[in-house]
Amino acid sequence: MKKISILILLSAFLVTLNASAQKMLQEVIVDYVNLLPANMVNKITAKNKPIKVSLLKGTSAAYYRVTVFQPEKVNTYTRFYESIRLVNPDTLLKEGYDFNKHLLETNGNFNVSVQFFNDASSAEKFLEGKEGSPCFKIDSTKSSVGQITGCRGETVYVAVKPLGKGKLGSIKVEIVALADVIEDPINDRFPFSIQNELSDVVSYEISGDRTNWQSFFLPTKKKAEFKLADTQVYMRVSTLDKVTEEYKIDSGKKYRLYWNKDKNHLDLGEIPAKK
């Protein structure tokens, strides 16, 4: 099992919106579980282990996607986070939301059972063929997507076990957390704010390194106030069909999201300080 990405950037910045928490979608883990036949050569590497997942503080909901691949045809580029990041978090929380539109096509020819546990020992028992106590489980699937329910705490263990015998391969497990980001208790951070002057909700992303981006939603006519650990970060505004150019954000300044008639697209501009 090889962990290829853990993107937990909560310490980089915190946000408040009208003195209340703002919902944030964040990719927590992208992992591949390589299921190999045990033999004299690879008996150790073939041993399957639980995946330890550390969720963001303030996580109110978490979503999963499981996909089965042949070893030589693993999908390394399509991300579940990218698929749902433009969906309003309130929409994701509605009962009956259709997650199937975010399924990733599987090319493996075997089924797996995926179970989520609150502790590592129960997950190990499940992989050893014993009775575990899962807080959430998905039985007999080649591909599955949806919301994780019933699990509590900031740490979850994911265990994947093949069902039946035959050719094995790789399982892609993706988890996205929906967190309520509360007010920053540290007072010596660098502030800035964004005002949405448009008539609709805006999806935007912020990054400290221009590589890992966090997705936010700002309702119409509302303001988001940030406090940063650094004096400067980067922002980009997302639309359904593209992402705009990146904007450099400086501490101590106020910005507005508006429709730029000259450029004919949504834009970010600085609000001049009052004299």
For each of the chain's 275 residues, which pLDDT tens digit applies? 333 332 323 333 333 333 345 677 877 777 788 776 655 444 444 567 888 888 877 788 999 999 999 877 888 788 898 888 888 888 898 989 999 999 999 988 889 999 999 999 999 999 888 887 899 999 889 999 999 999 888 889 999 988 877 667 888 999 998 887 654 444 445 678 899 998 888 888 887 777 767 777 788 888 887 766 666 788 888 655 555 678 988 888 899 999 888 888 888 999 987 76
User: Hey, what are 22's tokens?
Assistant: 């703002």
Contacts for 9 with CB less than 8 Å, ≥ 6 apart: 26, 208, 212, 214
Of 3, 28, 69, 30, give the one whose Cα is nearest residue 173. Answer: 30
DSSP character at residue 170: E
- Looking up tokens 């998905």 gives 138
Residue extent(s) of CATH 2.60.40.2890 domains in the chain: 184-271
Topology of the domain covering 2-9+23-180: Jelly Rolls (2.60.120)
Which pair of structure tokens corresponds to residue 54?
């550390």
Three-state SS for 123?
A: helix
- Is the pTM higher than 0.85? The answer reads no
Location of structure tokens 């497990």: 173
CATH topology for 184-271 is: Immunoglobulin-like (2.60.40)
Tokens 């935007």 -> residue: 204
Largest alpha-carbon pair distance within the chain?
77
Domain with CATH 2.60.120 in the chain: 2-9+23-180
